[in-house]
Structure 1
Amino acid sequence: MKLPIILQEFLKAQKLFDSIAFANCFSEHASVFDEGKIYTGKEEIKQWNEKSNNEYQTLFEVMDFSVKDNMKILKINISGSFEGSPVVLNFHFRIENGLITALAITE
């Protein structure tokens, strides 16, 4: 599966539980929508990822990659120490100038 470089970096950062590298995959004013909440800017995204890593030790297994209406979509099997693990979620990315500008995580 051939993924854009920024998504490869995103997945590598998550695998290493590196919240700084994770946040650096996003543009300065990017937004993330997850579980009904919106996180805006690299610092909020870093804190969201750091909290998730500390609480749930989330591991990603990419199942599929597609492109639809200029959105890059990763279907990811997510496991960790959370209720209902594992779960398959869709990560909808908007990418501009080599960085993630928006991410929405849906079922």
Structure 2
Amino acid sequence: MDTLTLPAPIAHYFASEHHPEALAQCFTANAVVTDDGHTYTGIDAIKAFMAAASAKYNATTVPFSLTEDDGLQLVRAKVSGHFSGSPVNLSYRFCLEDGLIGSLEITV
């Protein structure tokens, strides 16, 4: 089985999914995260969102593919947790800036 090699900030993001403080270190100061119709801008908003999502869904994310699309890194991942429809495959569209995540859009 092939091992998926992710760029360092993306690998750190997935490895830190239940640790909002560690997750915050993956993002630029003015990063933007969009998920489920909501947008979170800046480290404090992103940390609060990630902490609430982790507590509510206790999800586990397993990336299984990586492609590049118009300069963005597109990761597909299987997400399992305490939510209707679990597990589900989600798309994570990352824009990397200076070795950190500048923006992230999570979609079905």
Q: What TM bracket, shorter-length normalisation? A: over 0.9
Using structure 2 for the length normalisation, give the TM-score: 0.94
Using structure 1 for the length normalisation, give the TM-score: 0.95
Structure 1 unaligned segments of length 5 or more: list them.
Answer: none
The one-character-per-residue Cα deviations of 1:10-61 (angstroms, maximum 9, x if unpaired) are 11101xx111101110000000010111000011000000001101101001
The one-character-per-residue Cα deviations of 1:64-90 (angstroms, maximum 9, x if unpaired) are 111111000110111100111111110
Structure 2 unaligned segments of length 5 or more: list them.
Answer: none
9, 14, 17: which one aligns with 2:12: 9
Supply the AA of the counterpart residue of 2:89: V
- Counterpart secondary structure, 2:16: helix
Displacement over 4 Å in runs of 4+: none
- Counterpart secondary structure, 2:96: strand
Taking only aligned residues, the RMSD between alpha carbons, in angstroms, comes to 0.7
Shift of 1:106: 1.2
What is aligned with 2:26? 25
Shift of 1:8: 1.1
Matches within 5 A, 1:1-107: 1-14=4-17, 17-107=18-108
Shift of 1:63: 1.4
